[in-house]
Amino acid sequence: MKKGIIAGIALLGAVAMAATGCSGGSSAASGGSKGDGVVTVGFAQTGSESGWRSANTESMKDAFSAKNGFKLIFNAADNKPENQIAAVRNFINQGVDAIVIAPVVTTGWDDVLKEAKDANIPVILEDRTIDGSSDLYKAWIGDDFKKEGETAGTWAKQTLGDKATNMVVLEGTTGSAPAIDRATGFDDAIKGSQIKKLDSQTGNFTRADGKTVMEGFLQKYGKSINLLFAQNDDMGLGALDAIKAAGLTPGKDIQIVTIDATHDGLQAAANGEFNYVVECNPLLGPTVAKTVKDVLAGKDVEKKQTAVDQSFTPEQAKTALPDRKY
Protein backbone atom coordinates (compact mmCIF):
# COMPACT_ATOMS: atom_id res chain seq x y z
CA MET A 1 0.00 0.00 0.00
CA LYS A 2 1.40 3.36 -0.99
CA LYS A 3 2.03 5.61 1.99
CA GLY A 4 3.17 9.15 1.96
CA ILE A 5 2.36 12.62 3.22
CA ILE A 6 0.08 14.59 0.90
CA ALA A 7 1.03 18.12 1.87
CA GLY A 8 0.11 19.80 -1.42
CA ILE A 9 -3.68 19.63 -1.23
CA ALA A 10 -5.02 23.20 -1.33
CA LEU A 11 -7.12 23.08 1.85
CA LEU A 12 -8.79 25.89 3.74
CA GLY A 13 -7.90 25.37 7.41
CA ALA A 14 -5.26 23.10 5.99
CA VAL A 15 -4.33 19.82 7.58
CA ALA A 16 -1.42 17.89 6.11
CA MET A 17 -2.67 14.47 5.15
CA ALA A 18 -0.87 11.15 5.11
CA ALA A 19 -2.27 8.90 2.41
CA THR A 20 -2.35 5.14 2.10
CA GLY A 21 -3.47 2.90 -0.75
CA CYS A 22 -5.72 3.69 -3.67
CA SER A 23 -9.27 2.78 -4.58
CA GLY A 24 -11.01 2.75 -7.91
CA GLY A 25 -13.23 5.76 -8.57
CA SER A 26 -16.95 5.64 -9.26
CA SER A 27 -18.20 4.86 -12.75
CA ALA A 28 -20.13 8.16 -12.73
CA ALA A 29 -17.97 9.98 -15.29
CA SER A 30 -20.44 12.89 -15.33
CA GLY A 31 -19.14 14.09 -11.94
CA GLY A 32 -22.32 12.79 -10.38
CA SER A 33 -24.48 15.88 -11.05
CA LYS A 34 -28.08 15.60 -12.25
CA GLY A 35 -26.99 17.57 -15.29
CA ASP A 36 -27.25 20.88 -13.41
CA GLY A 37 -23.64 20.75 -12.26
CA VAL A 38 -24.67 20.48 -8.59
CA VAL A 39 -23.41 17.49 -6.60
CA THR A 40 -25.97 16.34 -4.02
CA VAL A 41 -24.34 14.81 -0.92
CA GLY A 42 -26.02 13.20 2.09
CA PHE A 43 -23.92 13.67 5.25
CA ALA A 44 -24.71 11.46 8.26
CA GLN A 45 -23.02 13.18 11.23
CA THR A 46 -22.87 11.59 14.71
CA GLY A 47 -24.63 14.41 16.53
CA SER A 48 -23.47 17.48 18.49
CA GLU A 49 -21.82 15.88 21.51
CA SER A 50 -18.67 17.97 21.81
CA GLY A 51 -16.75 21.06 20.80
CA TRP A 52 -14.77 18.87 18.41
CA ARG A 53 -17.97 17.76 16.72
CA SER A 54 -19.18 21.34 16.29
CA ALA A 55 -15.89 22.26 14.62
CA ASN A 56 -16.05 19.18 12.37
CA THR A 57 -19.65 19.95 11.35
CA GLU A 58 -18.74 23.57 10.57
CA SER A 59 -15.79 22.45 8.46
CA MET A 60 -17.96 20.00 6.53
CA LYS A 61 -20.79 22.48 5.95
CA ASP A 62 -18.30 25.13 4.74
CA ALA A 63 -16.69 22.66 2.34
CA PHE A 64 -19.97 21.22 1.01
CA SER A 65 -21.46 24.64 0.32
CA ALA A 66 -23.44 25.80 -2.73
CA LYS A 67 -20.55 28.09 -3.72
CA ASN A 68 -18.40 24.97 -3.98
CA GLY A 69 -20.95 23.25 -6.21
CA PHE A 70 -22.74 21.11 -3.63
CA LYS A 71 -26.23 20.61 -2.27
CA LEU A 72 -25.72 19.20 1.25
CA ILE A 73 -28.41 17.15 2.97
CA PHE A 74 -27.28 17.10 6.63
CA ASN A 75 -28.41 14.71 9.34
CA ALA A 76 -27.22 14.62 12.96
CA ALA A 77 -28.08 11.28 14.58
CA ASP A 78 -28.00 12.31 18.27
CA ASN A 79 -25.26 9.69 18.64
CA LYS A 80 -27.80 6.91 18.02
CA PRO A 81 -26.48 4.30 15.52
CA GLU A 82 -30.01 3.33 14.49
CA ASN A 83 -30.79 6.95 13.59
CA GLN A 84 -27.63 7.16 11.51
CA ILE A 85 -28.40 3.98 9.54
CA ALA A 86 -31.94 5.25 8.89
CA ALA A 87 -30.49 8.54 7.62
CA VAL A 88 -28.21 6.69 5.18
CA ARG A 89 -31.17 4.63 3.91
CA ASN A 90 -33.05 7.88 3.41
CA PHE A 91 -30.14 9.32 1.39
CA ILE A 92 -30.18 6.19 -0.81
CA ASN A 93 -33.93 6.55 -1.36
CA GLN A 94 -33.43 10.21 -2.33
CA GLY A 95 -30.89 9.14 -4.96
CA VAL A 96 -28.08 11.42 -3.74
CA ASP A 97 -24.86 11.50 -5.75
CA ALA A 98 -22.66 10.52 -2.79
CA ILE A 99 -22.93 9.73 0.93
CA VAL A 100 -20.51 10.84 3.66
CA ILE A 101 -20.67 9.21 7.11
CA ALA A 102 -18.99 9.89 10.45
CA PRO A 103 -19.98 6.51 11.97
CA VAL A 104 -21.05 6.71 15.63
CA VAL A 105 -19.87 3.14 16.20
CA THR A 106 -17.78 0.68 14.18
CA THR A 107 -20.38 -2.11 13.86
CA GLY A 108 -23.69 -2.66 12.05
CA TRP A 109 -22.76 -1.06 8.71
CA ASP A 110 -22.57 -3.99 6.25
CA ASP A 111 -26.23 -4.15 5.16
CA VAL A 112 -26.89 -0.45 4.53
CA LEU A 113 -23.51 0.06 2.84
CA LYS A 114 -24.25 -2.87 0.53
CA GLU A 115 -27.56 -1.16 -0.32
CA ALA A 116 -25.63 2.03 -1.19
CA LYS A 117 -23.21 0.04 -3.34
CA ASP A 118 -26.11 -1.69 -5.13
CA ALA A 119 -27.59 1.76 -5.79
CA ASN A 120 -24.20 2.84 -7.24
CA ILE A 121 -23.92 5.61 -4.64
CA PRO A 122 -20.31 5.98 -3.43
CA VAL A 123 -19.75 6.21 0.33
CA ILE A 124 -16.88 8.16 1.92
CA LEU A 125 -16.16 7.86 5.66
CA GLU A 126 -14.90 10.89 7.58
CA ASP A 127 -13.58 11.03 11.13
CA ARG A 128 -14.45 7.59 12.52
CA THR A 129 -13.95 4.16 10.91
CA ILE A 130 -16.02 0.96 10.72
CA ASP A 131 -15.32 -2.76 11.10
CA GLY A 132 -17.02 -3.57 7.79
CA SER A 133 -15.21 -4.52 4.58
CA SER A 134 -13.25 -1.67 3.03
CA ASP A 135 -14.92 -2.60 -0.30
CA LEU A 136 -18.05 -0.92 1.08
CA TYR A 137 -16.60 2.60 1.04
CA LYS A 138 -14.37 4.51 -1.37
CA ALA A 139 -12.17 6.30 1.18
CA TRP A 140 -11.72 7.26 4.82
CA ILE A 141 -10.44 10.68 5.92
CA GLY A 142 -9.65 11.25 9.59
CA ASP A 143 -7.14 11.15 12.41
CA ASP A 144 -4.97 8.33 13.81
CA PHE A 145 -6.75 7.57 17.09
CA LYS A 146 -4.31 4.85 18.17
CA LYS A 147 -1.40 7.23 17.72
CA GLU A 148 -3.25 9.89 19.71
CA GLY A 149 -3.65 7.38 22.56
CA GLU A 150 0.02 6.43 22.31
CA THR A 151 1.07 10.08 22.47
CA ALA A 152 -1.06 10.66 25.57
CA GLY A 153 0.20 7.45 27.19
CA THR A 154 3.83 8.22 26.43
CA TRP A 155 3.48 11.59 28.17
CA ALA A 156 1.86 9.88 31.17
CA LYS A 157 4.61 7.24 31.39
CA GLN A 158 7.40 9.82 31.05
CA THR A 159 5.79 12.20 33.56
CA LEU A 160 4.37 9.86 36.20
CA GLY A 161 5.34 6.34 35.26
CA ASP A 162 8.34 5.91 37.56
CA LYS A 163 6.26 6.25 40.74
CA ALA A 164 3.08 4.55 41.96
CA THR A 165 0.26 6.37 40.11
CA ASN A 166 -3.47 5.70 40.34
CA MET A 167 -5.37 6.57 37.14
CA VAL A 168 -9.02 6.84 36.17
CA VAL A 169 -10.18 6.97 32.54
CA LEU A 170 -13.13 8.78 30.95
CA GLU A 171 -13.83 6.76 27.80
CA GLY A 172 -15.53 8.07 24.69
CA THR A 173 -18.69 6.65 23.14
CA THR A 174 -18.75 2.89 23.71
CA GLY A 175 -18.02 1.02 20.49
CA SER A 176 -16.70 4.07 18.65
CA ALA A 177 -13.37 3.88 16.81
CA PRO A 178 -11.75 6.70 18.83
CA ALA A 179 -12.75 5.14 22.16
CA ILE A 180 -11.42 1.73 21.14
CA ASP A 181 -8.21 2.89 19.46
CA ARG A 182 -7.26 5.62 21.94
CA ALA A 183 -7.54 3.12 24.79
CA THR A 184 -5.39 0.61 22.89
CA GLY A 185 -2.72 3.19 22.10
CA PHE A 186 -2.65 4.57 25.64
CA ASP A 187 -2.52 1.16 27.32
CA ASP A 188 0.29 0.02 25.02
CA ALA A 189 2.29 3.16 25.81
CA ILE A 190 2.08 2.84 29.63
CA LYS A 191 3.17 -0.81 29.69
CA GLY A 192 6.03 -1.29 32.16
CA SER A 193 5.16 1.85 34.13
CA GLN A 194 3.79 2.12 37.67
CA ILE A 195 0.52 3.62 36.38
CA LYS A 196 -2.38 1.59 37.72
CA LYS A 197 -5.85 1.92 36.17
CA LEU A 198 -8.32 2.16 39.08
CA ASP A 199 -11.39 2.55 36.86
CA SER A 200 -12.52 3.28 33.31
CA GLN A 201 -16.03 4.33 32.29
CA THR A 202 -17.69 6.03 29.34
CA GLY A 203 -18.56 9.70 29.56
CA ASN A 204 -19.97 9.59 26.00
CA PHE A 205 -17.58 12.35 24.87
CA THR A 206 -19.79 14.94 26.65
CA ARG A 207 -19.02 17.49 29.40
CA ALA A 208 -22.12 16.57 31.39
CA ASP A 209 -21.35 12.85 31.51
CA GLY A 210 -17.66 13.52 32.09
CA LYS A 211 -18.59 15.51 35.21
CA THR A 212 -21.04 12.87 36.47
CA VAL A 213 -18.63 9.97 35.99
CA MET A 214 -15.76 11.90 37.62
CA GLU A 215 -18.00 12.65 40.60
CA GLY A 216 -18.50 8.91 40.94
CA PHE A 217 -14.76 8.24 40.68
CA LEU A 218 -14.07 10.86 43.37
CA GLN A 219 -16.69 9.40 45.71
CA LYS A 220 -15.18 5.95 45.25
CA TYR A 221 -11.43 6.73 45.19
CA GLY A 222 -11.16 10.28 46.57
CA LYS A 223 -7.68 11.69 47.02
CA SER A 224 -6.03 8.43 45.87
CA ILE A 225 -6.55 9.48 42.23
CA ASN A 226 -3.34 10.96 40.79
CA LEU A 227 -4.10 10.97 37.03
CA LEU A 228 -7.13 11.38 34.76
CA PHE A 229 -6.99 10.30 31.12
CA ALA A 230 -10.00 11.85 29.39
CA GLN A 231 -10.41 10.58 25.83
CA ASN A 232 -11.66 14.00 24.76
CA ASP A 233 -11.40 17.58 26.03
CA ASP A 234 -15.11 17.92 26.76
CA MET A 235 -15.20 15.05 29.28
CA GLY A 236 -12.05 16.49 30.85
CA LEU A 237 -13.69 19.93 31.09
CA GLY A 238 -16.71 18.39 32.79
CA ALA A 239 -14.39 16.55 35.19
CA LEU A 240 -12.76 19.87 36.19
CA ASP A 241 -16.02 20.94 37.84
CA ALA A 242 -16.19 17.69 39.82
CA ILE A 243 -12.53 17.90 40.89
CA LYS A 244 -12.89 21.50 42.10
CA ALA A 245 -16.17 20.69 43.89
CA ALA A 246 -14.27 17.98 45.77
CA GLY A 247 -11.81 20.62 47.00
CA LEU A 248 -8.97 19.35 44.80
CA THR A 249 -6.78 21.30 42.36
CA PRO A 250 -6.84 19.99 38.76
CA GLY A 251 -3.41 19.88 37.13
CA LYS A 252 -1.79 19.48 40.56
CA ASP A 253 -3.68 17.12 42.91
CA ILE A 254 -4.93 15.25 39.84
CA GLN A 255 -2.90 15.55 36.63
CA ILE A 256 -5.03 15.49 33.47
CA VAL A 257 -4.25 14.41 29.91
CA THR A 258 -6.88 14.82 27.17
CA ILE A 259 -7.30 14.48 23.41
CA ASP A 260 -8.82 16.86 20.82
CA ALA A 261 -7.08 20.24 21.42
CA THR A 262 -10.22 22.32 21.02
CA HIS A 263 -9.99 25.98 22.04
CA ASP A 264 -11.50 25.27 25.45
CA GLY A 265 -9.16 22.33 25.96
CA LEU A 266 -6.09 24.42 25.15
CA GLN A 267 -7.40 27.20 27.40
CA ALA A 268 -7.65 24.69 30.27
CA ALA A 269 -4.05 23.68 29.55
CA ALA A 270 -2.93 27.33 29.44
CA ASN A 271 -4.65 27.76 32.82
CA GLY A 272 -2.62 24.85 34.19
CA GLU A 273 -5.75 22.67 34.71
CA PHE A 274 -4.88 20.23 31.91
CA ASN A 275 -1.27 19.00 31.89
CA TYR A 276 -1.07 17.68 28.33
CA VAL A 277 -3.42 17.88 25.32
CA VAL A 278 -3.13 15.79 22.17
CA GLU A 279 -4.64 17.18 18.98
CA CYS A 280 -7.27 15.47 16.82
CA ASN A 281 -7.84 17.87 13.95
CA PRO A 282 -11.55 18.22 13.02
CA LEU A 283 -11.03 20.47 9.97
CA LEU A 284 -11.54 17.60 7.52
CA GLY A 285 -14.18 19.21 5.28
CA PRO A 286 -11.99 20.40 2.39
CA THR A 287 -10.24 17.03 2.01
CA VAL A 288 -13.54 15.14 2.19
CA ALA A 289 -15.15 17.43 -0.41
CA LYS A 290 -12.20 17.04 -2.80
CA THR A 291 -12.35 13.27 -2.36
CA VAL A 292 -16.09 13.20 -3.14
CA LYS A 293 -15.58 15.17 -6.35
CA ASP A 294 -12.63 12.99 -7.39
CA VAL A 295 -14.64 9.80 -6.78
CA LEU A 296 -17.59 11.11 -8.80
CA ALA A 297 -15.23 12.10 -11.61
CA GLY A 298 -14.00 8.50 -11.72
CA LYS A 299 -10.52 9.35 -10.44
CA ASP A 300 -8.45 7.05 -8.25
CA VAL A 301 -8.50 8.30 -4.63
CA GLU A 302 -6.36 7.46 -1.60
CA LYS A 303 -8.17 4.83 0.49
CA LYS A 304 -6.94 6.34 3.76
CA GLN A 305 -6.05 10.02 4.26
CA THR A 306 -4.83 10.67 7.83
CA ALA A 307 -4.55 14.14 9.35
CA VAL A 308 -1.22 14.98 11.01
CA ASP A 309 -1.80 15.90 14.68
CA GLN A 310 0.43 17.69 17.23
CA SER A 311 0.33 17.89 21.05
CA PHE A 312 0.55 20.63 23.65
CA THR A 313 2.08 21.30 27.06
CA PRO A 314 0.58 24.26 28.95
CA GLU A 315 3.30 26.58 27.60
CA GLN A 316 2.77 25.35 24.02
CA ALA A 317 -1.00 25.79 24.47
CA LYS A 318 -0.51 29.45 25.51
CA THR A 319 1.58 30.06 22.37
CA ALA A 320 -0.84 28.25 20.04
CA LEU A 321 -4.16 29.68 21.31
CA PRO A 322 -4.22 33.02 19.41
CA ASP A 323 -3.90 31.32 16.00
CA ARG A 324 -6.13 28.29 16.49
CA LYS A 325 -8.84 27.79 13.86
CA TYR A 326 -11.15 25.85 16.22
**Which of residues 143 and 302 has its CB atom nearest to ligand GZL in the complex?**
143
**Which of residues 161 and 238 has its CB atom nearest to ligand GZL in the complex?**
238
Name which of residues 101 to 140 contact ligand GZL (CB under 6 A).
Answer: 127-128
Q: What character string, x for contact with ligand GZL (CB under 6 A) and - otherwise, covers 227-266? A: -----x-x------------------------xx------
Residue 49 makes contact with ligand GZL by CB under 6 A:
yes
**Which of residues 39 and 100 has its CB atom nearest to ligand GZL in the complex?**
100
Residue 45 makes contact with ligand GZL by CB under 6 A:
no
Name which of residues 140 to 199 contact ligand GZL (CB under 6 A).
Answer: 143, 178
Stretch that binds ligand GZL, among 48-56, 61-69, 156-164, 263-271 (CB under 6 A): 48-56
Least separation in angstroms between residue 178's CB and ligand GZL is 4
Q: What character string, x for contact with ligand GZL (CB under 6 A) and - otherwise, covers 262-301? A: ------------------x---------------------
3-state secondary structure the chain: CCEEEECCCCCCCCCCEEEEEEECCCCCCCCCCCCCCCEEEEEEECCCCCHHHHHHHHHHHHHCCHHHCEEEEEEECCCCHHHHHHHHHHHHHHCCCEEEECCCCCCCCHHHHHHHHHCCCCEEEECCCCCCCHHHCCEEEEECHHHHHHHHHHHHHHHHCCCCEEEEEEECCCCCHHHHHHHHHHHHHCCCCCEEEEEEEECCCCHHHHHHHHHHHHHHHHHHCCEEEECCHHHHHHHHHHHHHCCCCECCCEEEEEEECCHHHHHHHHCCCCCEEEECCCCCHHHHHHHHHHHHCCCCEEEEEEECCCEECHHHHHHHHHHCCC
Name which of residues 193 to 212 contact ligand GZL (CB under 6 A).
Answer: 205
Stretch that binds ligand GZL, among 21-29, 32-40, 46-54, 188-196 (CB under 6 A): 46-54
Residue 53 makes contact with ligand GZL by CB under 6 A:
yes
Binding interface with ligand GZL (CB under 6 A): 49-50, 52-53, 127-128, 143, 178, 205, 232, 234, 259-260, 280
